[in-house]
Amino acid sequence: MSEPLPDEPVRVADHDLNDLVSTVNRLVTEAQRQGETIARLSGDDAEDEVESPEAASPAAEDGAPEGPSSVFILALAGAAYEEELAALENWVKRLLLPVYGREITTGRPWCFQWSEHPEAIARLHGLWLAWQQFTDTEAGLAGPSTWHRDHLDPTWLQLRAPDGPFGACTTSPARPSHRLLAAPGAGAEGI
């Protein structure tokens, strides 16, 4: 016979809270999406299945805005974007840099203001999403190894390359530097 569950609340370490919040938000969004799909597929009338997704959505009926169509940070806006960026900054500061940061050199530049570089935000967020997936117990024992090989190594090579997004930033910890490079076509209005 199994023991009864304790009445005490579950305790989660502070450094795991942001990952937990992100995971719960992702699961809630996925559950809502699956519920909408089930409701649409279980309809009796064949015409209901042909209806546009906007008409079938409960959010569209209420006049409320629909949730984000993606968990990727560049698809978010407003408070959702700011919240996700804060969680990403926490992960980069507390886990990624202390473990994988390595020395800053001309061959491996870094920018301490990385959150002002859109490419860095996009790449680091993708890396973080993959980290959450591949460090989950459902990923199996090879999950972390897969994350290193398929996600961390290529992302780090792109971000820290001399011609990467930080190419004009810090190349020596003794001389911090930050400069955003213009995107192609940014000054091409007159062409």
Inside any domain, residue 139: yes
Domains identified in the chain, total number: 2
> Are 108 and 160 within 8 A, CB to CB?
yes
User: What pLDDT was estimated at residue 129?
Assistant: 95
3-state secondary structure of 152: helix
Query: Of 51, 67, 83, which residue sits at a domain end?
Result: 67
Ranges of the chain whose pLDDT falls below 50: 44-64
With 0-12 / 13-18 / 19 or more C-beta atoms within 10 angstroms meaning exposed / middle / buried, residue 111 is buried
Q: Are residues 55 and 84 in the same domain?
A: no
Inside any domain, residue 191: no
User: What pLDDT was estimated at residue 47?
Assistant: 43
Q: Are residues 135 and 111 in the same domain?
A: yes
Q: Are residues 46 and 101 in the same domain?
A: no
Domain residues for 106? 72-180
Q: Are residues 35 and 80 in the same domain?
A: no
pTM (two decimals): 0.62
User: What pLDDT was estimated at residue 64?
Assistant: 47
Inside any domain, residue 41: yes
Inside any domain, residue 189: no
Inside any domain, residue 85: yes
Distance CA 179, CA 189 (A): 22
Q: Are residues 99 and 163 in the same domain?
A: yes
Query: Of 67, 89, 107, which residue sits at a domain end?
Result: 67
Q: Are residues 62 and 78 in the same domain?
A: no
User: What pLDDT was estimated at residue 11?
Assistant: 58
| Terminal Cα-to-Cα distance of the chain (whole angstroms) | 78
Q: Are residues 117 and 165 in the same domain?
A: yes
User: What pLDDT was estimated at residue 56?
Assistant: 39
Inside any domain, residue 120: yes
pLDDT digits (tens, 9 = 90+) for 52-76: 434 433 444 444 455 557 888 988 9
Inside any domain, residue 137: yes
User: What pLDDT was estimated at residue 151?
Assistant: 97
